[in-house]
Amino acid sequence: METLSRLQSVQATLELMQEHSLLADGGGSSDLFVADFLLVLKQNCNDAKDILQRCVTLLSFLPEISFHFLQDLLGGEVPPPEDEINYYRVEIPQIEGDEIENFSSPAAAGKPRAGKDRADKAPMAADGRPAGGLLKAAPAVGLKAMEKARSTLEDFCRSYFMFHDMDARDPAHVFKFLPILQFVESYIYDLDESNEDELHRSVQFVARGALERSFSLRSVDEPRETAHLFTGESSSGSAAYFQSCSDEELEAHDGELDGLRSGVDPLGELRDVLSSRGLMTDRIEAELRDGVEYWKLERKLCGLVTMGRKVNMQDVFKTIELKSFDFRILNNLLYSLTHRMVDETHMEFLRVAEFLVEIADDLFDYEDDVRKNSFNVLRMLVYACGPTEAPAVLANFISTKEREYQRLLDKLEPGLAERFQERCKEAAKEGGFKETSKSGSWGAWTIPPLIVDEVAFRAHSSCESAPYIREV
């Protein structure tokens, strides 16, 4: 009798599922399983709200269930091959509280969201593949990241569309690929900002300890007038600039900075999105790896500077070269979206142009980057070769890159070269740079006064302008 009653309940549930179009396409055992599951919920929950909350709790844990967990659950059963595991990987929508009338469980509320927080915690298997569960939350980016990435995306459209026979002034061209371009740039921007936020917090780490006194150029007993923070006014020699701490202290501090530890793939979900849409290429994969390498180098160099240690000049120039990896990802993505072959001449030219743009931005943002403990090529060169030599080293490097830029500019199609030069002039004017340079495209190169005591400078961050400015 009990069995018959059970079958009747299951049949009634199946009919209800059919009425609400909830039956699976394949039907059969899948529908029976769902019907049984719904009956379990009905028997163990008080009302509809309680059922909904239990479902949200279940959804929060489903992404963490892996075949390795199921293997242990079943007593050591050998898991299937990786390609068969991937067959069962599906995306589930991100569940927000307001979407379920605010009935979310404590477990769900405590789970990291997709994107920045979730990527920071994504484990990797021994073979380098993401070790997440069978169900993976659909990657998402927040409104704040989209707003902050807007100016970068606008610059990309105005500067790069011309290399793809597209016009940034044409709404049809802009909106055709806007969703994926916006998503990719916002996703990267979110991670980049998280990295910089952690670097900024590392400055507070130094300020809390005795290291602040050890690494200052001046004695803590001497007055700290703001003029002494800049080149030409310090009474200390450049040798004192490279104060060193013990290796043990450095390793301890590096541990705090190293958020990109072994086994973490911060761009894993972005890879999944691009791969699922057939947009992933070897070039994009290489740029994604360069992005992770850039963040690691940024943390390494900023950690050394925070600890008062000398940095390697090759690391400095490698980092500035990697810095525009997001623009190169977007550029390669446009080639995938338009089904066009990559133009090597264009790519080589844009890489040099990106290099010069990054240096110009670093010179403009120099003081802000020192305050935030962010990577800045001038800041790093001060710690690589000293404040006396840093300006000349950077000036020579800029001159070399400008000659390379001009050589590659001459290889571009005449119309394209002219449009790009006009775009550079627009950008220089919008950024407040003087419109004079050998190529007629770049603003005047102005090296700001160098900060030789970063700790004291941050303490006096409201100080006025520096004693002098060098022109390259």
pTM exceeds cut of 0.85? no
- How far apart, in whole angstroms, are the C-alpha atoms of residue 107 and residue 153? 36
> Percent of the chain scored above 90 by pLDDT?
40
What is the full per-residue pLDDT of the chain (472 aa) written as tens digits?
A: 677 788 888 888 888 888 887 776 555 678 888 888 888 888 888 888 888 888 877 776 776 777 677 777 777 655 555 545 554 555 545 444 444 444 333 333 333 333 334 333 344 444 444 444 444 556 778 888 899 899 999 999 999 999 999 999 999 999 999 999 999 999 999 888 888 877 777 665 555 443 444 444 333 333 334 444 555 444 333 334 444 444 454 444 444 434 444 456 788 889 989 998 899 999 999 999 999 999 999 999 998 998 889 999 999 999 999 999 999 999 999 999 999 999 999 999 999 999 999 999 999 999 999 998 999 999 999 999 999 999 999 999 999 999 999 999 999 998 999 999 999 988 888 876 654 444 445 557 889 999 988 888 888 764 444 443 344 4
* Helical (H) or strand (E) element with 137: strand 135-137
pLDDT digits (tens, 9 = 90+) for 273-291: 999 889 999 999 999 999 9
Q: Are 224 and 456 in contact (CB under 8 A)?
A: yes
Please tell me the distance from the alpha carbon of residue 276 to that of residue 343, in angstroms, as a whole number: 25
What is the Cα gyration radius of the chain?
28
Residue that has been written with the tokens 């691009």 in this structure: 274
Give the CA-trace dihedral at 115, 116, 118, 122, to 10 degrees: 110
Contacts of 324 (CB under 8 A, 6+ apart): 351, 354, 355, 357, 358
3-state secondary structure 56-71: HHHHHHHHHCCHHHHH
Of 406, 399, 294, 398, nearest in space to 349 by CA = 406
- For the segment 405-451, what is each residue's pLDDT rounded down to a tens digit? 999 999 999 899 999 999 998 888 887 665 444 444 555 788 999 99
Contact residues for 426 (Cβ-Cβ < 8 A; gap 6+): 158
Measured in Å, how far apart are the chain's first and last C-alpha atoms? 94
User: What six digits make up the tokens of 128?
Assistant: 């380098």
SS3 233: coil
**Residue 168 DSSP label:** T
d(CA 183, CA 329): 12
Q: Domain residues of the chain, as ranges?
A: 2-137, 145-471
Tokens 């793939």 belong to residue: 265
Contact 352, 408 (CB under 8 A): yes
Structure tokens at 328: 């190169």
